[in-house]
Chains A and B, each alone.
Chain A
Amino acid sequence: MKIYADNAATTKMSKTALDAMLPFLTEIYGNPSSLYEIGQRAKEALEEARATVASAINAEPNEIYFTSGGSEADNQAIRSAAVIGARKGKKHIVSTAIEHHAVLHTLKKLEKEGFEITLLDPHENGIVRPEELAAAIRDDTCLVTVMYANNEIGTIQPIGEIGAICKERGVYFHTDAVQAVGHLPIDVKKEKIYMLSASAHKFHGPKGVGFLYARKGILLSNLIEGGAQERGKRAGTENVAGVAAMAAALKEAVDNMSANAARLTALRGRLIDGLSQIPHSALNGDAEKRLPGNVSFCFEGIEGESLLLLLDDKGISASSGSACTSGSLDPSHVLLAIGRVHDVAHGSLRLTLGEDATAEQVDDIIEAVKEVVSYLRGMSPVWRDLMNGKGRFIL
């Protein structure tokens, strides 16, 4: 049995994406800046991909900047807004406590450079409240950056409402949509999004390529200086094969989005129902407003890394927000931000289903998780104390 249930970490490249990329590695390998035929054909492919990507989020082609991925796009968007803000004496940024580190660490750096950062509380359901966001915006706010959907607990933020508030207040709005693009319908015009970050490998494209959407009129600052690629805003010879594959993958994802979402939402429900049968467990994040394939749970009395290793032995790939898997002493900042205490956050499990998941696989996952959780609880002194009434159950 092999079940890959970590699609929020990365996805398998689709056949469509692979087929789209190969010609640009083998035959049309020219540099898009060259004027001979294979260069110009590469250039055409690049611009075709730009149009495809733009239409997937209802943007204009000249508002799309290809990057090395989501982290670069996040960095460039935030840095650019900060530079524009600083010129006007506006050095305040509003964000949330559950952003990806590509956003949080950039904000931390700006804080050291004299910016003030307000992080909104995601509350217990993992969703920020628009009225609290409106209240956090000040006269000197230069940017609001709120992720579209969370990578750990899958919760979807009220992006349209946030966009409307930011437009009314005249503040730039950026969204890290790395987990959402290709999975949720996005319309940057309707949702009044000024900047958006995306990454190809989260929607069955290749790793190492992504894009930044920046509305016309926003002056981007370069992270990488050099040639005049990407209208002078991102130097370096374009990753033509990667970009072509990303566009093909995105088109496929958008074309099949509603059917995939409906199927995955049903499987998600089945998985949540199954795991909920495990005593002293809890779903993390809102039950409804979450990504179609995302299931995140905490199990009391066990630790996440041993859970992952034993699931791996059973052929199931998953992830956890425990300290041992985060590489730090603290468990996931997202789980802590939604009010999970350390003891419980260590026992977290994230399962993110791919488009090819089946009901049978979901049932196999439920069976395996039940078995492993009960085995680990059997050797846990924490669980023994809880069962003997020496400690109090949290979940």
Chain B
Amino acid sequence: MALYSEKVMDHFRNPRNVGVIEDADGVGEVGNAKCGDIMKMYLKIEDEIIQDVKFETFGCGSAIASSSMATEMIKGKPLEEVEKLTNQAVAEALDGLPAHKLHCSVLAEEAIKAALEDYRSRQS
């Protein structure tokens, strides 16, 4: 059996929404280089809807795939729905992750939450 599912390898090989949004409305960065994983999410938000999302990731195959999948899951979605995104949902959408790689999906959830928090704090 391969280390990763086909879905993970697809998102790793062809990551969706890689890049930067220069005039992002919210930016979130989680993880640290010491542990070997850093994720950064950029959100463009209009009318409480994610109009655009981009990510940058320093990390292993599952970290890149989790970021990619998470961006696909929130793009075009209303914020109240995005706020409910869990790491389990990301991992399930990838047809599962090896147990020692589940923290990658946690990072994806946290990166999005951090970006939303940044957006809210800019609003207030």
Instruction: Give bound CA distance, A306 to B64, whole Å.
Output: 8
B78: which A residues are within 8 A, CB to CB?
none
Instruction: Give bound CA distance, A346 to B15, whole Å.
Output: 21
Judge whether B58 and A380 touch: CB under 8 Å: yes
Judge whether B36 and A303 touch: CB under 8 Å: yes
Q: Which of A304, A305, A379: most chain B CB closer than 10 A? A: A379
Given known contacts A379-B15, A379-B18, A323 and B58 CB-to-CB distance under 8 angstroms: no
Judge whether A305 and B61 touch: CB under 8 Å: yes
Residue B40, interface by CB 8 Å: yes
Residue B29, interface by CB 8 Å: yes
Q: Which residue of A lies closest to B20 (CB)?
A: A384
Instruction: Give bound CA distance, A303 to B61, whole Å.
Output: 9
> Which B32-47 residues have a C-beta within 8 angstroms of A?
33-40
Judge whether A302 and B35 touch: CB under 8 Å: no
Instruction: Give bound CA distance, A309 to B15, whole Å.
Output: 14
Q: Is the interface of A mostly helix, strand, loop or mixed?
A: helix
A4: which B residues are within 8 A, CB to CB?
none
Judge whether A303 and B40 touch: CB under 8 Å: no
- Against B, the Cβ 8 Å flags (1 = close, 0 = not) of A283-316 are 0000000000000000001111110011001000
Judge whether B36 and A381 touch: CB under 8 Å: no
Q: Count chain B residues whose beta carbon lies closer than 8 angstroms to a beta carbon of A.
A: 26
Q: Which of A306, A327, A381 contacts B61 (CB 8 A)?
A: A306
Residue A1, interface by CB 8 Å: no
Judge whether B34 and A306 touch: CB under 8 Å: no
Judge whether B18 and A381 touch: CB under 8 Å: no
Residue A154, interface by CB 8 Å: no
Judge whether B33 and A342 touch: CB under 8 Å: yes
Residue B60, interface by CB 8 Å: yes
Instruction: Give bound CA distance, A42 to B3, whole Å.
Output: 41
- Against A, the Cβ 8 Å flags (1 = close, 0 = not) of B73-90 are 000000000000000000
Residue A317, interface by CB 8 Å: no
Residue B120, interface by CB 8 Å: no
Judge whether B60 and A306 touch: CB under 8 Å: yes
A305: which B residues are within 8 A, CB to CB?
60-61
- Against B, the Cβ 8 Å flags (1 = close, 0 = not) of A319-352 are 0001110010101000000000011001000000
Q: Which of A310, A313, A322, A383 contacts B36 (CB 8 A)?
A: A322
Residue B122, interface by CB 8 Å: no
Instruction: Give bound CA distance, A323 to B19, whole Å.
Output: 25
Q: Which residue of B lies closest to A322 (CB)?
A: B36
Q: Which of A301, A310, A342 contacts B58 (CB 8 A)?
A: A301
Instruction: Give bound CA distance, A106 to B61, whole Å.
Output: 33
CB distance from B10 to the nearest CB of A (A): 12
Residue A220, interface by CB 8 Å: no
A304: which B residues are within 8 A, CB to CB?
60
Q: Can you show 5 pairs from A to B with CB atoms below 8 A apart?
A: A303-B60, A303-B63, A306-B59, A329-B35, A380-B38
Interface residues of A (CB under 8 A from B): 301-306, 309-310, 313, 322-324, 327, 329, 331, 342-343, 346, 378-384
Q: A303-B58, A306-B12, A309-B61 are in contact. List 13 more A-B contacts (CB 8 A).
A: A303-B59, A324-B59, A331-B36, A343-B33, A346-B33, A378-B18, A379-B15, A379-B56, A379-B64, A381-B39, A381-B40, A381-B57, A382-B38
